[in-house]
Structure 1
Amino acid sequence: MRRRLRIALATTTAALALCSSLGVEGGSATARARAQNVDHKCSDNVDVDGFSDSLDGTLFRKRYVGNLSGLAVDHDGSIAAVSDRSLLFRLKVQSQNGNPTAEPTGVTDLRDEQGYPSLDSEALVIDSDKTRLVTSEIEPSIRIYDESGRNPVKLTMPKRLLVKPDGRAPDRNLTLEGLTLQPGGKTLVASMEGPLEGDGKDTAGHTLVRLQSWQREQGQSAKDFKIAAQYGYAVDKNPDVASKDLGISEIAATPDGRLLVIERGHSPSGNTVRLYLADLSGATDVTNTENLPGSAQLVKKTLLADLVKCPDLGAPAKQPQHNKLLDNIEGMAVTSATGGTLKLLLVSDDNANVAQITRLYALTAKLPSSGS
């Protein structure tokens, strides 16, 4: 989101092509750590393979390559990155000693139905037919663009999720921050960053936000997505600010249909970023629940890693941080999957702030079994 803290696996071919370009076949993060005598472990489930500031402060075709909020693997193996300033970049991402360096190779100006760049684009999905689904926090909305990034069509949005006075979202900077397409392509899931007015907390005092899904039949286009189940999700408290909670900044589907969830917050002491694995299968559909929690069974989540605990890998920081490696992480894509081991690419949104950094992160995550 602008000036504040601020999508689905592509085809197997694209994922394998990207896996090759990132050089992950040359050995695991553990092997590299031994070779370099550096510990890459963030937790028992997550290693940080490397980072890169190659995009920080750069221009491409007179556009600022920053404010990046969403990532997706495209069909040709490149990375699509959406900026909250209505720009969609194409990136060539490669690996240098585990560090994911990137080079812009294309950019598209996103527009609304009237041709204006009045969007706050936050998350991105690339569908099987190469259409682009992009969220905007302003209304909020999900727009479907053709492969060229033009001819937008809006998906129907549940009224409750709209910004006041049309709905119950109190702040347009805390709406649709995450978007992902589940395996099989039938279910689209979006995440609200913050709570709706009137929704409460769980028994432990955690703020409750909503995840919204849409469904379509096999073979249908993105325009055929229909509003489906809605779920309640409890976000963590901000460890630095007792009066604030973390917010969901991104979600990404795993091959078995669970969700990776980034919860992120900021304080004068620095950024907090946590990676969770969430399971929607046992959660109650809260479409008809006016105020959470009610009797709802919330989404179950498992902490994979608190990224504050990752090694900093010698990263620089422009402002106070608990861990100099961290900044305002908002985008995430699964670039390959082998069994329960996933390769992830993350990006931070610098908010066009000289004290922040546009940074790419390469992570390896090992998922616990669905019965854990």
Structure 2
Amino acid sequence: MKSLARCAAIAALSLIALPGVAQTLSYLGQQIVPTSAMFRGVPVGGLSSIDYVPATGRYLAICDDRSDLAPARFYELSLDLSQFRRSATPGEAGVSWVNMTTILDLDGKPFARNRVDPESLRLDTKRNLIYWSNEGARTSGGMQNPTVRRMHPDGRPAGEFPVPAYYNPSGSAGGLAAGDMGVYNNLAFESIAITPDSKTLWTIVENGLAQDSPPTAVGRGSRTRMLAFDLDTGKAGAEYVYEVGPVPFPPARAGDFATNGVPDMLALSDHEFILIERAYAVGAATPGVAALTRQPTSNTIKLYLVDTRGATDVAGWPTLKGRDVVPVKRTLLLDLSSLKNDDGSVLAVDNIEGLTFGPMFEGKRTLILASDNNFNPAQFTQFIALVIDGPLP
């Protein structure tokens, strides 16, 4: 059998030559864990974020279960990249579940049902703390503010960052009425990134705030905000506008659900980031067909390079309306629908929500992506490994 390094070289995809970023990304392989998988008597899934821990060679992955199937939690797992395959049915060899930790609220207790929506986490090795985001809620049943918090590696709380008040949902449940403010439901803080110097934490709203921009749709993007926090003082800092692209494929039936948003980001420097744009449209005819279900995956996953230099700092602006704003620079790095398996089939991508640097593999750095299966039998937990060919910042 061909070595994985040779397969990766064959699959290399040329990128736009940009200073300080990788010149190519190669598809190393994938592994898929079925939704029926269990760990310690709890269904495995809902992986909304993943972070590599070099000291252990393992990964942390937060689960976005709202304390429904089990208390809010994150997993520790290992991935053996030598067992990843460029196959539509790769199996799950090399994926091992190591530990599961309950996330505790500010009172040190497990979250009650539907009182939290964990979406992202990053380990700060300098301070031995985990930062994580809670998306909050905007529903007819009530409003919950989005939060960014710290916790100890054992899940105990270690404080909360002061999110500006204009992110908090108020007004109608839909967020589209006059005077509505704050995040849309299920479109808030899905990401956490820590700069390499461990000085700054960044998060981004998946779509715009109600007072800034409507949510994405077919033919319509959304103006969302990147928000920084100083890790020494905990105070909110710079804010920049990121323009999320329109939904690229229409749903199978007009009026069915369709969205595009930013579920995760990775800091390359104090001003450069890699972001995921993850689009979904019910029954959309996207290129990939999942071998597990023989159905279109209905997802479109793209990686973008973002550079904040020259962008307008909108910190403290309750609304963007009527203001001149220069957004951050956004450049396409990779459309995952361009990746193919060894048999020529297009890589079918599920609901990719997690992104992290991985370990070195045969002398090159890797990027690891993870999917959130929504605990839906028609979906799957997917890990995709990409090889970085070229210089990094």
TM-score range, shorter chain: 0.7 to 0.9
Residue 313 of structure 2 aligns to which amino acid in structure 1?
A: D
Relative to its length, the structure with more helix (as a share) is 1
Which residue in the other structure is 1:119 paired with?
116
Pairs within 5 Å for 1:22-41 = 29=5, 31-33=6-8, 39-41=10-12
- 1:211 maps to a residue whose letter is M
> Are 1:56 and 1:359, in contact at CA under 8 Å, matched by a contact in 2?
no
Q: How far off is 1:79 after superposition?
A: 0.3
Aligned to 2:208: 195
1:331 aligns with 2:354: yes
Corresponding residue number in structure 1 for 2:223: 208
- What SS does the aligned partner of 1:96 have? helix
Q: 1:257 to 1:171 in 2, by over 3 A?
A: closer
Partner of 1:295: 324
Q: 1:83 aligns with which of 54, 63, 68?
A: 63
Q: Any idea what SS the aligned residue of 2:186 has?
A: helix
Equivalent residue letter for 1:301: R
TM-score computed with the length of structure 1 as normaliser: 0.79
Partner residue of 1:231? 240
Aligned match of 2:340 in 308, 311, 316?
311
C-alpha distance 369-61 of structure 1, shift in aligned 2 (>3 A): closer
Asked if the contact 2:220/2:245 (under 8 Å) is kept, the reply is no
Question: What is the rounded CA distance, in whole Å, between the counterparts of 2:268 and 2:3 in structure 1?
Answer: 22
> Identity rate of aligned residues, in percent?
26
Could you say which residue in structure 1 is the equivalent of 2:97? 104
> Do residues 174 (structure 1) and 187 (structure 2) align?
yes
Cα 1:250–1:55 change in 2 (3 A) is same
Between the aligned partners of 2:344 and 2:189, the Cα distance in structure 1 is 30
Change (3 A) 1:284 1:42: same
Work out which of the residue numbers 153, 177, 185 in structure 1 matches 2:198.
Answer: 185
Q: Report the TM-score, using the length of structure 2 for normalisation.
A: 0.75
**Pick aligned residue for 1:73 from 52, 59, 84:** 52
Distance 1:313 1:253 in 2: 31
Task: Give the number of the structure whose alpha-carbon radius of gyration is greater.
Answer: 2
Q: Please list the CA deviations of residues 177-203 of structure 1 after superposition, one character each: whole Å capped at 9, or x if unmatched.
A: 1110011111110011011112148xx
How many equivalent residue pairs? 324
SS in structure 2 opposite 1:157?
A: coil
The whole-number CA distance in structure 2 between the counterparts of 1:32 and 1:255 is 30
Tell me if the contact between 1:235 and 1:245 (Cα under 8 Å) persists in the aligned partners.
Answer: no
Structure 2: unaligned runs, 5 residues or longer: 16-23, 66-71, 86-92, 137-144, 173-179, 285-297
Q: Taking CA–CA contacts closer than 8 Å with sequence separation of 6 or more, which of the two structures ends up with the larger relative contact order?
A: 1
- After superposition, the C-alpha distances for 1:21-54 in whole angstroms (9 at most, x for unaligned) are xxxxx9774x2346xxxx5345533221100014
Q: Supply the distance in 1 between the matched residues of 2:310 and 2:4 (Cα, whole angstroms).
A: 34
- The CA RMSD over aligned residues, in Å, is 2.9
Write the distance in 1 (CA, Å) between the matches of 2:194 and 2:186. Answer: 23
- One-letter code aligned to 1:231: Y
Taking the aligned partners of 2:59 and 2:270, their CA distance within structure 1 comes to 22
1:97 Cα deviation after fit: 4.3
User: Are 2:78 and 1:92 aligned?
Assistant: yes
Residues in 2 aligned to 1:230 and 1:40: alpha-carbon distance in whole angstroms: 37
**Long gaps (5+) in structure 1:** 1-25, 317-322
Contact 1:180–1:190 (CA<8 Å) still a contact in 2?
A: yes
Q: What does the per-residue CA deviation read over 1:51-74, in whole Å, with 9 as the maximum and x for residues that have no partner? A: 001464311111221000011122
For residues 286-321 of structure 1, give each alpha carbon's deviation from its aligned partner in whole angstroms, at most 9, with x where no partner exists: 1143433621110101100111111145699xxxxx
Q: Which moves more between the two structures, 115-124 or 135-144? A: 115-124
**3-state SS of the aligned residue for 1:266?**
strand
